[in-house]
Amino acid sequence: MSDKHLQRTSRNEVYMSLGDEAQVLWDEMHEITLDEAHLRRNRIVTAQKTDPVHKRFDMLRTRLLLAMREHGWSRIAVTGVTEGCGASFVAANLALSVARMESVRTILFDMHFTKPSLAKLLGVENPGRLSDYLAGHIAPEEYMIRAGQSLALGLNDTKVFHSSELIQQMMTTDVLSEMQDLLSPDMVIFDLPSVLDSDDVLGFLPNVDGVLLVVGGGQSLPEEVQRAEQALGDKTQLLGVVLNKAESLFS
């Protein structure tokens, strides 16, 4: 057993002796305040309730939470049919919508290893390296950034070109399982690359309970949507289809 594992085991034993060990870790995270003007410029409308579009994300949030509580789920992936459908836009807005419910602990991960974008979208500087965290080199409370009381961000601004190998390693599964145990999140949202453009999605699906599929209005072809639904349906629970870039946001 490595020294690092012994240190982590010892630390966990200390946390277990506390009244709410998960809250201790949440409190230890570096906290930031997201800039509202930056969010508005990037169409992140759910941090505040000033844009009426937030109601559509709130409806999606409520449906997901009800389904997840009914089935005992906590981890969902958001992926587009093809690149450019707006999966990161949907994932970020969903996460901030859930985060307005302060009793619901939410974690948002940027799993776009070759084109990470959530840090820029949310206006977060120096977000850290997700690859280092998934490799077990950093504790979750040292890597993650807390934006408010109940939202933690697992972001990245460094490209990783061996992403498929990284996310399919047993260490990634172990790290995420430890994260679940230590932080006790109610919802973990993984923003993934598009399903038809990257094998990262299918390789990562064993780590989630279900998937939201984002379709680009006026962009995604019917046969592409069908192929994506079939690929996901064979591997995991398809939680819903989000129609983005259209007058009606959800289907």
pTM: 0.88
Q: Which two tokens stand for residue 61?
A: 């949030």
Q: Which residues contact 13 (CB under 8 A, 6 or more apart)?
A: none
Q: Which residues contact 7 (CB under 8 A, 6 or more apart)?
A: none
Q: What is the residue extent of each domain of the chain? A: 3-244
d(CA 15, CA 133): 20
Q: Work out the burial of residue 103: count CB atoms within 10 Å of its CB; fewer than 13 is exposed, 13-18 middle, 19 or more buried.
A: exposed
Q: SS in 3 state form for 46-90?
A: CCCCCCCCHHHHHHHHHHHHHHHHHHCCCEEEEEECCCCCCHHHH
What architecture is the 3-244 domain classified under in CATH? 3-Layer(aba) Sandwich (3.40)
Question: What Å distances lie between residue 235 and 89, 162, 228, CA to CA?
Answer: 24, 22, 11
Q: Which residues contact 177 (CB under 8 A, 6 or more apart)?
A: none
Are 244 and 217 in contact, with CB atoms under 8 Å apart?
Answer: yes
Distance of CA 86 to the CA centre of its chain: 14
pLDDT in tens, the chain (251 residues): 444 444 555 445 544 444 478 999 999 999 999 999 999 999 999 988 777 788 999 999 999 999 999 999 999 999 999 998 999 999 999 999 999 998 999 999 999 988 899 999 999 999 999 999 999 999 999 999 999 999 999 999 888 877 888 888 889 999 999 999 999 999 999 999 999 988 888 899 999 999 999 998 878 889 999 999 999 987 899 999 998 865 444 44
d(CA 153, CA 95): 10
